Amino acid sequence: MGRYLFKRLVQVPIVLLVLITLSFFMVRLAPGNPFSGEKKMDESVRQALNAKYGLDAPWPIQYLKYLKGLATLDLGPSYKQKGLTVNEIIAEKAPVSAVLGLTAMILALALGLTAGIISGIRQNSNFDYGSMGVAMIGLSVPTFVVGPLLALVFGLKLGWLPVAGYERMAGPIPYPQYLILPAITLALPFAARIARLTRAGMLDVINQDYIRTAWAKGLRERVIVLRHAMRGAMLPVVSFLGPAVAQILTGSLVVEQIFQIPGIGYEFVKSALNRDYTLVLGTVILFGVLLVAFNLLVDVIYGFLDPRIRYA
Amino acid sequence: MTQASAQPAPASTSEEAEQGVSLYADAWRRLRKNKMAMVSVGVIVTTGLLSTFAGVLAGFVGVGPTYGFRWIRAQPPGFTHVDTLNQTSLILGGEAQVREPYADASRLEFHTVEREVEEVRVAWNRRGVQAIALTEGAKPLDALEVAAGEHYWQEIDENKQALGERIQNASLQVGEPLPAAFGERPRSGVLFIQRVHEPASGRRVYAARLEGGAVKELTQNGAPIESALIEGRIVEQVLADGVPQTITHPLGTDLSGRDLFVRILYGGRISLLVGLVATLVSLLIGVVYGAISGYSGGRVDAFMMAVVDILYGIPYMFLVILLLVNFGRSIVMLFFALGAVQWLTMARIVRGQVLSLKQKEFVEAAIMSGSSPAAIMFKHLIPNTLGIVVVYTTLTVPAVILQESFLAFIGLTVEWGGESLDSWGALVKAGSDAGLSRSWLLVWPSLAMAISLFGMNFLGDGLRDAFDPQQRGRT
Amino acid sequence: MSDPAKPLPVLELDDLRVRFKTDGGMVHAVNGVSFRVDEGEALGVVGESGCGKSVTNMTVLRLIPTPPGEVSSGTIKYRGTDLLKLSAKEIRKVRGGKIAMIFQDPMTCLNPFLRISKQLTEAILLHSDMTPDEARERAIQELERVGIPDAAGRVDSYPHEFSGGMRQRVMIAMALCTDPDLLIADEPTTALDVTIQAQILDVLRRLQAEKGMSLVLVTHDLAVVAGMCTRVVVMYAGRIVEEAPVDDLFADPRHPYTIALLGSVPRLDDPVGRHLTPIEGLPPKLAEEPTSCAFAPRCTYAFDRCRAELPKLEPDPDGRLRACFVTFKDGVPVEPVDAGGAA
Ligand SMILES: Nc1ncnc2c1ncn2[C@@H]1O[C@H](COP(=O)(O)OP(=O)(O)OP(=O)(O)O)[C@@H](O)[C@H]1O
Ligand SMILES: [Mg+2]
């Protein structure tokens, strides 16, 4: 376990460096520059702007400077939102996405695990067929179809929940009604995956000899499921949780757009489309760090769950 | 319990197993038993055929995916209207510029009605109607009486899209709430009311005699004329050799009057193309990479897999977005971008397979007998990983389609030669922007997409169960 | 079947039938099995692979998955109460408490995610009123008794830290830590290598004697039966074809299948641990309940009646039970006279 984790830890800076380099040059190599879009700009003004943001230096210098900034966690100024630094924008927007993502993840875990476990231990029951059918729909119907449909039904038709928007209650946390539809939309495909994985894991495990041993001891089904079967069944789910974070992040681009939530995903799309390079880079790096961190966390949890790995 | 479920039912398999049925035949037999998978095969084949023969089907509807009957705008499924161009141009002696279906008729008649439109802008909020103004002429009114009668009033929204309702018997008064005739409206908004009426002299009939597509005779209300430019909007009837010409849109039309059904067919083409080609790209990279890694083993393998591990840690979709934004949205770019996202998993799977196959006797025998590594890889290793590759490929195609549609949804529709190629994702996006009153624009493309993806996912599941019954239900 | 002169048997099966509904049709795994296990006795169950030994024994504790499994008739009496009629709660008391079971493969039968201590104490706590500390003490004692060195130090290990033989010892300790009346051991040594086998059997034999419990030992290995059991039942195609005290069976087998089994197996003086070699022909498919002797197609002595009628398990004049229309003496058919030529 220790050695394994060490190996993963060594990979972290490499992953981040690859990501930063890739996105940095992808942005720099693009034709045009951030200020070329603004038509009526004076050549002298443009030059001044380029100088101000260090865009007149050769790329390698720019790259090194950017890395230096990163080392002090400074992501630089935004090119398009005057007077704001990328750090400030991220600090403002990311918590909103975090609230949404976290809610969705909790929801997805609760839904997915419950459905998956019950389907697994009641294979071929109506519940199993029903929930696996729903899970398949969850996998096949894109978020951007589900979102508008939910908004249409619960927002417009029934009027129970707001169609869109984000009225804050405290800090990044909104009044719950603004969170319900977006969180459900975001959670759905994720819950579907978890349910399928859990069910498969459960099926796998309940056919294991050691579960038969547990029955032969006279334990009740609930104990067998929770104490003996759950851990093994959870392993595939846990490995999925790392990539799932990436999925939830990408999902939130769309969901934030549909429900007009002022989060970092929406901000990313906007900044990519209007070439706010530093902001784009900053967001990509943030996402990368999150992904890496979650993958590591998942590894730790995995080892924690499976003693064979922990002591290997 | 364990032994029981691990063993296949003895009665059904022992005989065939004795005959040594190959893995593939066995898998196929198992797949055929899986009803959902067979239904899915049907769905996929249908989708494939529909999008392959999109051109033929478009021929039945009578219009391609890009032509819009601009004056009809968004209309609900089943909408039928006069089949005419936005502008029909007839010039004596020249080729008739008319709709294809009746281009080789010998006699054409266009019955037109010129209508006058008066537009009134109504804004309201919670407290009542704020202002009523005649838009053309900008004359403010205090009140408006919408009566039933020879003229009709039609509601349109800010984008001048007809809301499909005709208003009768309503009276609007500044400061009063919106009358019930307007149905349930949001608490505030703006709408336009068009008063349409027809002047006595508004009716005209253009008649043309054609020979080989060229206009030989042209009359307006019986009097010969040199040329005519007929706006589609005013045409009430077209007779080609005496037969009225109409066109029906089975799933309605979009905001620019394009046929939704045809657009869904062509959109499916784009989506499937992206799905298949990108998957193929990922397949190629993944299989070769994984096979080399697994076959080489040792340090090479460790290094190659470390690279995969590292690349796994990268949030790809964001890079794809950057790529498309910065370097144009050519479909070829997308093939590679999405293919590059998917190859990692494929590489891992193939490597695992190759590693375990390498231990098998027939491969060892080949190695002993001195076959070249390439021969071993392409003759023995890769063919034997085919089963799992097929399974994973089937699951990758819908995943890629989903990713493309997701990109299209955030506005990154793919292009080819500067023309935007509207995939299902783009259609869904357009539908969700079009709003509640035109829900068919959201519902049908979504349905087409969901059903196809559903089919592909189910087939992938079924294939996995068939190839690997032990792993039944694994994801 | 029970003899009124004898005390109530610990376990008594009567006409047990179990079938499975599978994709390929019905599988009749057990077709009318009856036997009893007396107090303190060790009963051997032998037969070819697939003849229904495990299904029979798992049905005792109702461990057959239903569906696809189904008990279509019969009773399973544990000290007079029919286990098949117990409620889910009552059968849980029997499982592990009164009747314990150990299985073939010690590598997979222990939960890899839980410490040994947890796996042992959960059974003890369930079937006694000990406190967790007492249960832990008990678990350590039990591990010592099955011969795990440094039991106190290793009780908190995970299964993967033990070897196969050690794990089977743990399994035995786990089965015995609740002081069951009856232990069903389903091929407890098949997965182990020969020297370990002998050690495990030693442990079993010793503990059975110490605790005075009854034992059902399922095995492929006739040598094991000879060393451990007092009585044997021989199963074929879901039925019992012969039942006899172990010495009688070896000395004077009275069913063609038993004869074939013994013929295909080394004699008692052969080295320990040799397994049955298969008998000519294949065991029958179990798609239908047998209406004639299931062994007839492979039997050297079968005659017309064997292919038309189902022989019942009935006592010979001297009380030995067997299901065959042919009479044997010293492994040679004596009646009907033409039986020998029927092959
Ligand atoms: N869950 C099940 N579903 C279908 N058939 C089953 C199931 N469990 C057992 N069987 C069938 O019942 C028959 C008896 O199986 P059983 O496991 O009792 O054999 P066995 O005598 O224990 O064999 P072995 O010596 O190999 O352990 C076999 O034909 C088997 O295929
Ligand atoms: Mg068995």
Average pLDDT in chain C:
83
**Residue C50 neighbours by CB distance under 10 Å:** 20
- As a three-state string, the secondary structure of A168-187 is EEECCEECCHHHHHHHHHHH
The first and second tokens of residue A181, run together, are 């539809």
In this structure, of B11-20, B285-294, C320-329, the range with the lowest mean pLDDT score is B11-20
Same domain, B193 and B262: no
Domain assignment present for B385: yes
- Using a CB–CB cut-off of 8 Å, the residues of C that contact B are 20, 22-27, 50, 54-55, 58, 63-65, 68-69, 108, 285-287
Q: What is the CA radius of gyration of chain B?
A: 31
How confident is residue B264, by pLDDT bands cut at 50, 70 and 90? very high
Mean pLDDT, residues C202-208: 85
Question: Domain boundary residue among A71, A101, A119?
Answer: A71
Same domain, B37 and B125: no
Same domain, A101 and A132: yes
pLDDT score of B322: 85
> Which residues, other chains included, contact C335 with Cβ-Cβ below 8 Å and sequence gap of 6+?
C326, C327
Q: Residue C250: what residue type?
A: F
Mean pLDDT, residues C50-71: 88
Question: Domain boundary residue among A71, A100, A120?
Answer: A71
The number of the ligand nearest the C-alpha atom of C49 reads: 1
CATH number of the structural domain spanning residue A250: 1.10.3720.10
Our answer on whether the CB atom of C69 is closer than 6 Å to any ligand 1 atom is yes
pLDDT score of C3: 53
Domain assignment present for B76: no
In this structure, of B149-153, B432-436, C94-98, the range with the lowest mean pLDDT score is B149-153
Domain assignment present for B434: yes
CA B26 – CA C333 distance, rounded (Å): 46
Asked whether the beta carbons of residue C174 and residue A217 sit closer than 8 angstroms, the reply is yes
Q: Which residues, listed in sequence order, are joined to residue B300 by a DSSP beta bridge?
A: none
Domain assignment present for B38: yes
CA C243 – CA B202 distance, rounded (Å): 109
Same domain, B269 and B189: no
Whether ipTM tops 0.90, in short, is no
The DSSP bridge pattern shows strands C231-236 and C42-46 to be parallel
Does residue B367 carry a pLDDT above 80? no
> Which residues, other chains included, contact B183 with Cβ-Cβ below 8 Å and sequence gap of 6+?
B165
Cβ atoms of residues C172 and C203 within 8 Å: yes
Our answer on whether the CB atom of C104 is closer than 6 Å to any ligand 1 atom is no
The number of the ligand nearest the C-alpha atom of C220 reads: 1
Same domain, A134 and A208: yes
For an interface test with A, give the residue of C107, C108, C113 to mutate (most A CBs within 10 A).
C113
pLDDT score of C4: 54
Q: Which of B1, B2, B7 for mutating ligand 1's site (highest number of atoms within 8 Å of CB)?
A: B7
Peptide bond into B65 cis (omega under 30): no
pLDDT score of A5: 77
Q: How much is the pTM?
A: 0.80
Same domain, B440 and B298: yes
In this structure, of A38-42, B210-214, C164-168, the range with the lowest mean pLDDT score is A38-42
The label of the residue with tokens 């020979």 reads B211
pLDDT score of A36: 60
Domain assignment present for A170: yes
> Is B369's Cβ below 8 Å from some Cβ in A?
no
Question: In chain A, how many domains are there?
Answer: 2
Domain that holds residue A272: 86-305
How confident is residue B42, by pLDDT bands cut at 50, 70 and 90? very high
Task: Give the position, in ligand 1's atom list, of the atom nearest the Cα of C64.
Answer: 1
Residues B237-252: tens digit of each pLDDT? 999 998 999 999 999 9
Same domain, B52 and B151: no
Does residue A297 carry a pLDDT above 90? no
Same domain, A137 and A63: no
Residue of C nearest to B33 (CA): C23
The first and second tokens of residue B236, run together, are 């009430």
Does residue B12 carry a pLDDT above 50? no
Same domain, A37 and A181: no
Nearest by CB to B409, which of A140, A152, A254?
Answer: A254
Same domain, B292 and B414: yes
The first and second tokens of residue B413, run together, are 């529709």
Same domain, B186 and B272: no
pLDDT score of B472: 41
Domain assignment present for A80: no
Same domain, A8 and A152: no
Nearest by CB to A218, which of C96, C161, C171?
Answer: C96
CA A286 – CA A263 distance, rounded (Å): 13
Our answer on whether the CB atom of C51 is closer than 6 Å to any ligand 1 atom is yes
Asked whether the beta carbons of residue B1 and residue C286 sit closer than 8 angstroms, the reply is no
> A240, A231, A232: which is closest to A108 by C-alpha?
A240
CA A200 – CA A4 distance, rounded (Å): 26
Our answer on whether the CB atom of C178 is closer than 6 Å to any ligand 1 atom is no
Q: Which of C16, C20, C239 for mutating ligand 1's site (highest number of atoms within 8 Å of CB)?
A: C20
Domain assignment present for B243: no
Q: A121 CA distance to ligand 1 centroid (A)?
A: 22
Same domain, B193 and B275: no
Asked whether the beta carbons of residue A209 and residue C112 sit closer than 8 angstroms, the reply is no
Domain assignment present for A110: yes
How confident is residue A34, by pLDDT bands cut at 50, 70 and 90? low
Asked whether the beta carbons of residue C22 and residue B12 sit closer than 8 angstroms, the reply is yes
Domain assignment present for A78: no
Domain assignment present for B83: no
Domain assignment present for A139: yes
Domain assignment present for A76: no
Residues A174-203: tens digit of each pLDDT? 888 888 899 999 999 999 999 999 998 888
Asked whether the beta carbons of residue B326 and residue A29 sit closer than 8 angstroms, the reply is yes
> C109, C22, C24: which is closest to C63 by C-alpha?
C109
Q: Which of C13, C53, C239 for mutating ligand 1's site (highest number of atoms within 8 Å of CB)?
A: C53
Same domain, B301 and B416: yes
Domain assignment present for B223: no
Asked whether the beta carbons of residue A232 and residue C174 sit closer than 8 angstroms, the reply is no
With beta carbons under 8 A apart, name residues in chain B contacting C20.
4, 9
Our answer on whether the CB atom of C66 is closer than 6 Å to any ligand 1 atom is no
pLDDT score of B136: 64
Share of chain A above pLDDT 70, in %: 95
Nearest CA to ligand 1 atom 12: C29
Same domain, A118 and A189: yes
pLDDT score of B83: 92
Q: What is the DSSP string of B304-372?
A: HHHHHHHHHTS-HHHHHHHHHHHH--BHHHHHHHHHHHHHHHHHHHHHHHHHHHHTSHHHHHHHHTT--
> B460, B475, B471: which is closest to B37 by C-alpha?
B460
Domain assignment present for A311: no
Asked whether the beta carbons of residue A140 and residue B453 sit closer than 8 angstroms, the reply is yes
CA B339 – CA B278 distance, rounded (Å): 4
Task: Give the position, in ligand 1's atom list, of the atom nearest the Cα of C57.
Answer: 18
Domain that holds residue B193: 116-197
Same domain, A183 and A243: yes
Nearest by CB to B11, which of C55, C68, C285?
Answer: C285
With beta carbons under 8 A apart, name residues in chain A contacting C112.
210, 232, 306-308
Same domain, A158 and A23: no
> Which residues, other chains included, contact C332 with Cβ-Cβ below 8 Å and sequence gap of 6+?
none
CA B264 – CA A31 distance, rounded (Å): 34
Same domain, B263 and B412: yes
How confident is residue B219, by pLDDT bands cut at 50, 70 and 90? very high
Same domain, A201 and A273: yes
The number of the ligand nearest the C-alpha atom of B6 reads: 1
- Using a CB–CB cut-off of 8 Å, the residues of B that contact C are 1-5, 8-14, 33
Residue of C nearest to B13 (CA): C24
Nearest CA to ligand 1 atom 3: B4
Same domain, A21 and A98: no
Same domain, B39 and B127: no
Question: In chain B, how many domains are there?
Answer: 2
Same domain, A38 and A148: no
Question: Domain boundary residue among A71, A97, A120?
Answer: A71
Helix axes B260-296, B331-358, angle to 10 degrees: 40
The number of the ligand nearest the C-alpha atom of C283 reads: 1
Same domain, B190 and B311: no
Our answer on whether the CB atom of B4 is closer than 6 Å to any ligand 1 atom is yes
Same domain, A54 and A97: no
Average pLDDT in chain B:
81
Subunits touching B (CB < 8 Å, at least 3 pairs)?
A, C
Cβ atoms of residues B296 and B286 within 8 Å: no
Task: Give the position, in ligand 1's atom list, of the atom nearest the Cα of C56.
Answer: 18
pLDDT score of B271: 92
Mean pLDDT, residues A47-76: 80
pLDDT score of B241: 92
Domain assignment present for B278: yes
Residues B396-451: tens digit of each pLDDT? 999 999 989 988 888 888 888 777 889 999 998 888 888 777 888 988 999 999 99
CA A98 to chain centre: 9
Subunits touching A (CB < 8 Å, at least 3 pairs)?
B, C
- Classify B100 as helix, strand or coil: helix
Domain assignment present for A173: yes
CATH number of the structural domain spanning residue B409: 1.10.3720.10
